[in-house]
Amino acid sequence: MTISVMSSTAQVFRFATVFGEMCLAWEGTTADPRVMRIFLPKDAVAVRVPSSPIISPAVAELGARIQAFLAGEAPVFDLGILALDHCRDFQRQVLLAEAAIPRGWVSTYGRIAAHLGVPSASRAVGNALAQNPFPIAIPCHRAVRANGALGGYQGGLALKHSLLTTEGLTFDAQGRVLLTQVWY
């Protein structure tokens, strides 16, 4: 089955994770695929859409790396398979800055904005991350508010908390990340 993603028709690869089923929407050939979107378990599409009969080894490998990441491992993600060129320039800059934040670290929306040369754009950074089409591969869960509060996450705050905990981050009694490992 195919679905409409970002104005294109994409194939779907479904896979199980410790947090529930996910799917990758991709287009191109099996030898040269481009992932258009990663759907987290919370997304209705991940629940309703069956896998396509066509399987790309590179897409299956991305799914395996996401599974490993969600199981607590530290795989390296190849961003070259992601259709970042479908993102607007500012969002692409934000996503690449976010992708550079190492496992076990966080940054704040404001610090990311300052890193990009637009220190007053913390809200725009948050909006760009809220629309991240590639969660997990581009770890938008590593961005938090200036006071360590989680902010938002398209997979839900419980998943964001779990991901950060798995990466070794700690929280205060109010559920805020202790800002001891801050990038940028």
Torsion of CA 137, 111, 94, 125, to 10 degrees: 110
Catalytic residue among 140, 143, 144, 159: 140
Question: How crowded is residue 30: how many other Cβ atoms within 10 Å of its Cβ?
Answer: 14
Torsion of CA 42, 47, 49, 50, to 10 degrees: 130
Is 87 one of the catalytic residues?
Answer: no
Question: How crowded is residue 19: how many other Cβ atoms within 10 Å of its Cβ?
Answer: 19
DSSP code of residue 50: P
- What residues are labeled active site? 140
